Structure 1
């Protein structure tokens, strides 16, 4: 059995989320237990609008995710900026197109974690995750939160993105704040922790041990009867030998 394949999928307008996504990949790879691949959500805005927004140039070196790739993977880490406390339209548009996967239950039982970017510490890093949970619920995906595995998440004297819901970055109102080493380290930890859980969920099932039945062997279905309860065909050789001894003994009675 090969390693579980985990996809890290991001949408990034100004590059902040992409930096965190790359850290997530490094964390997954550091575990040594999964194969990690990086993808981005397709852009839905026209180029002239993105230019007016001063968006970062589109990175053509990172392939765009497709619904077929989702079905082939064993788990996902998904990252995106918040739009008024919810996921951006680009991400929702993609998930709106996963109806065929839903109808087949193609994502049922697969793990998924999230990471985010907001302009401020109270810009929706938790509400964005919370509002996105229905997508996971309807697909039967298993939400894997981050928890608080890093001491940086307890700091109160510095701006640090991320929460128990997932890794994150504080970008500032004008996008001037770049991901700090603390936010990057938290993202790497998330990748490592996610790999552990993904491996547990994808581990092969242990062989089932037959359970002894209280019913007599004669009342049990043939498929459930122990091997000793099934009569074995008699050996012709042994049966023949026993019969011959009986005949010889019977003859000796008359000789006497």
Structure 2
């Protein structure tokens, strides 16, 4: 079966929770799934003062190890409708992988978090997906086979371009059951495609 990397950056833990759900979904297909994060670039004293979630259990990834996986699903919170600087700084170091074609034909996906319903979720997903396409990856989103994203019964994230959550202006809202199910669904779809290609 395939090897999946769920690579994320999370300031307050919302994207971290989605990352774990994506990995659960991937594992449900028989694939192996590792959850890793990118390095924090904010100085420790500033991150502490801003109450960043600094006790995240996922190990920090290295750029070189990306080539060891059949699929990579990337998650980051939005920063003004685009990828976070932490994730961008990490991916900017992957020029060698791009040059060598090490990720060509591998499977990719994206997920994100925003403060509000209209805070740039889809723009951020496209910001991640653009990177994956430049690496030559095959993109798997979150189709409407995840019916939860169509609900009108509650505020909910989710997009055909990837799993999402809405955190609230103060980060007070955690991913809902529907949003976590969307992340699991996307993880299973990504791994399912990778299993077919590489399994």
What are the superposed Cα offsets for residues 39-92 of structure 1, whole Å, 9 maximum, x if unpaired?
011111111111222211232x31111112101111111111000000000000
Aligned to 1:55: 52
Q: Pairwise CA RMSD of aligned residues? A: 1.2
Q: Distance in 1 between matches of 2:189 and 2:99?
A: 30
TM (norm. structure 1) is: 0.75
Matched, 1:30 2:35: no
Q: Following superposition, which runs of at least 4 residues in structure 1 exceed 4 angstroms of deviation?
A: none
Distance, in Å, in 2 between the alignment partners of 1:192 and 1:45 is 33
Asked whether the equivalents of residues 110 and 129 of structure 2 are also in contact (C-alpha less than 8 Å), the reply is no
Shift, 1:151, TM fit:
2.0
Q: 1:80-125 CA distances to partner (integer Å, 9 max, x unpaired)?
A: 1000000000000001100111111111111100111000111111
Distance 2:130 2:179 in 1: 27
Is 1:46 aligned with 2:43? yes
| Correspondences of 1:71-220 after superposition (within 5 Å) | 71-203=67-199
Answer whether contact 2:9 2:16 (CA < 8 A) is retained: yes
CA distance in 2: counterparts of 1:179 and 1:132, whole angstroms: 20
Report the TM-score when normalising by structure 2: 0.95
Q: Relative to 1, partners in 2 of residues 1:165 and 1:62: Cα closer, same or farther, differing over 3 Å?
A: same
Higher relative contact order (CA 8 A, sep 6+): 2
Q: Distance in 2 between matches of 1:195 and 1:102?
A: 22
Q: Distance in 1 between matches of 2:183 and 2:8?
A: 13
Unaligned runs of 5+ residues in structure 1 are 204-256
C-alpha separation between the residues in 2 aligned to 1:132 and 1:76? 11
